[in-house]
């Protein structure tokens, strides 16, 4: 093992295990770098929507579960959660010397053979069975509620037990590291922090000729725990203008909320916006709103790369990505009132934000730096395992 691409021993048989492959988001960008480091690795995943990810990920043997053959799996896979542990429990990885999992659900439960090494890049322990259970299932009632509570208890037990199959963890933030230690009771020496990469090429430095509007921006998947409703209600109640870029199951509820608050003329729900257009949105808005508690949250760094200050709730991954007074403002009072007070303070400050300093901060999370740190961490874990 000498460092750079393909430099790990050619005799090292590597398996990559990823929860599911149906897009190219933050988790897949980490997987992409692993595919570059281990170009001959085979990939194991619950299901794969062909053509949905980067060609360098898909250009290798991809082994899927029986669930991949089910009709409609692309949109209904979340309902199959109770079956996920059984798949990973029975993965046959005896041919491999190194197993590298990238996990936010069950991939970290993969079993390496005796004498092999398992390294997990952990995006988060399963949110829906630990601290975010109510965000996902709070509206379930009756028999349905009792079933999901029973299932969550079973999954929590499996989640903690299967963490013992990992030799070394890399967590994507300090917040996630603490969750790993708390929920899985892992030895702290087995967990290090390695921030995920930001694709700076997609978010070029701000063009000073573009005029910023007196309008705030949210870019997010529209799911409950992202708390986009907090940003919508805070802006609607305080008479501010807001653009929301993103899609997801919360979109109908957010449309109804905007209408009920009488803010149709001030709050725009744009739906999905491709990366190329996001950089233009970043350049044209006054500030980026981040009201949720996120495991890491890459969008505040994309905003910083674009010279757009962030107003972020100061908990979770935002503490790793937002520098108070440099790339934006952190606030500590949760909910709608907290965000309204934070926006009042942000506007009263009326400072001129240094786009160069913000860009420099984002560059500390670049893909090239991540790649180098990832290779060093993998090599170090393998050295410790061989002692």
pLDDT in tens, 49-76: 998 899 999 999 999 999 998 888 777 7
If asked whether residues 120 and 251 sit together in one domain, one would say: no
pLDDT of the residue at 187: 94
| Secondary structure of 5-36 as H, E, C letters | CCCCCCCCCEEEEECCECCCCHHHHHHHHHHH
Any idea what DSSP says for residue 39? T
pLDDT of the residue at 4: 36
List all residues 6 or more positions away from 305 whose beta carbon is below 8 Å from its beta carbon: 198, 200, 203, 204, 205, 358, 359, 362, 363
Any idea what DSSP says for residue 242? E
Residue 1 lies in a domain: no
Going 382 to 384 to 385 to 387, the CA torsion angle's sign is positive
Residue 24 lies in a domain: yes
pLDDT of the residue at 25: 82
If asked whether residues 265 and 351 sit together in one domain, one would say: yes
Provide the number of structural domains found in the chain. Answer: 2
If asked whether residues 375 and 310 sit together in one domain, one would say: no
If asked whether residues 244 and 316 sit together in one domain, one would say: yes
If asked whether residues 175 and 288 sit together in one domain, one would say: no
Q: Considering the entire predicted model, what is its pTM?
A: 0.88
User: What is the domain range of residue 71?
Assistant: 14-197+366-386
If asked whether residues 35 and 175 sit together in one domain, one would say: yes
Residue 203 lies in a domain: no
If asked whether residues 19 and 103 sit together in one domain, one would say: yes
If asked whether residues 82 and 158 sit together in one domain, one would say: yes
Cα–Cα distance for residue pair 182/157, rounded to 1 Å: 13
Give the residue ranges of the chain where pLDDT is below 70: 1-7, 9, 208-209, 386-387
CB-count exposure of residue 71 (10 Å: 0-12, 13-18, 19+): exposed
If asked whether residues 98 and 171 sit together in one domain, one would say: yes
If asked whether residues 136 and 247 sit together in one domain, one would say: no
Residue 210 lies in a domain: no
pLDDT of the residue at 9: 65
Cα–Cα distance for residue pair 176/193, rounded to 1 Å: 9
Residue 3 lies in a domain: no
Residue 255 lies in a domain: yes
CB burial of 339-361 (b: ≥16 within 10 Å; e: otherwise) equals bbebbeebeeeeeebebeebbeb
pLDDT of the residue at 6: 44
**CATH (domain of 305):** 3.40.50.2000
If asked whether residues 372 and 353 sit together in one domain, one would say: no
Provide the H-helix boundaries in the chain: 26-37, 55-58, 73-76, 84-89, 133-137, 142-162, 174-184, 228-238, 251-260, 275-284, 299-305, 318-321, 335-349, 355-363, 367-386
Residue 140 lies in a domain: yes
If asked whether residues 299 and 189 sit together in one domain, one would say: no
Residue 80 lies in a domain: yes
pLDDT of the residue at 5: 42
């Amino acid at each position: 093992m000498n460092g750079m691409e393909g430099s790990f021993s050619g005799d090292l048989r590597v398996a990559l295990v990823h929860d599911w492959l149906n897009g190219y988001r933050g988790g897949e960008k980490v997987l992409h770098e692993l595919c570059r480091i281990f170009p001959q690795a085979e990939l194991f995943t619950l299901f794969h929507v062909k053509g949905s990810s980067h060609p360098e990920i898909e250009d290798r043997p991809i082994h899927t579960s029986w669930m991949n053959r089910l009709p409609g799996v692309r949109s209904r896979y979340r309902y199959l959660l109770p079956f996920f542990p059984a798949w990973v429990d029975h993965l046959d990885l005896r041919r491999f010397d190194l197993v590298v999992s990238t996990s936010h659900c069950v991939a970290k439960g993969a079993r390496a053979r005796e004498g092999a090494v398992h390294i997990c890049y952990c995006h988060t322990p399963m949110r829906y069975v630990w601290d975010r259970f109510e965000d996902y299932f709070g509206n379930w009632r009756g028999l349905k509620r009792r079933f999901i509570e029973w299932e969550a208890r079973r999954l929590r037990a499996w989640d903690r037990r299967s963490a013992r199959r990992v030799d070394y963890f890399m967590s994507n933030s300090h917040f996630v590291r603490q969750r790993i230690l708390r929920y899985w009771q892992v030895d702290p020496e087995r967990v290090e922090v390695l921030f995920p990469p930001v694709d700076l090429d997609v978010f070029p430095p701000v063009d000073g000729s573009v005029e910023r509007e007196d309008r705030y921006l949210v870019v997010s998947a529209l799911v409950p725990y992202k708390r986009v409703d907090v940003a919508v209600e805070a802006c609607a109640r305080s008479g501010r203008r807001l653009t929301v870029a993103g899609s997801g199951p919360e979109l109908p509820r957010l449309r109804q909320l905007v209408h009920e608050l009488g803010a149709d003329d001030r709050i725009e729900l744009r739906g999905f916006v491709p990366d190329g257009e996001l950089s233009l949105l970043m350049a044209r808005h006054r500030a980026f709103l981040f009201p949720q508690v996120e495991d890491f949250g890459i969008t505040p760094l994309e905003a910083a790369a674009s010279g757009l200050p962030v107003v972020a709730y100061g908990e979770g991954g935002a503490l790793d990505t937002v520098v108070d007074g440099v790339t934006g403002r952190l606030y500590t009072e949760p909910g709608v009132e907290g965000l309204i007070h934070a926006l009042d303070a942000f506007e009263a400050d009326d400072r001129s934000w240094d786009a160069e300093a913000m860009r420099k901060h984002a560059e500390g999370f670049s893909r090239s730096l991540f790649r180098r740190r990832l290779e060093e961490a993998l090599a170090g874990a393998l050295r410790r395992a061989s002692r």
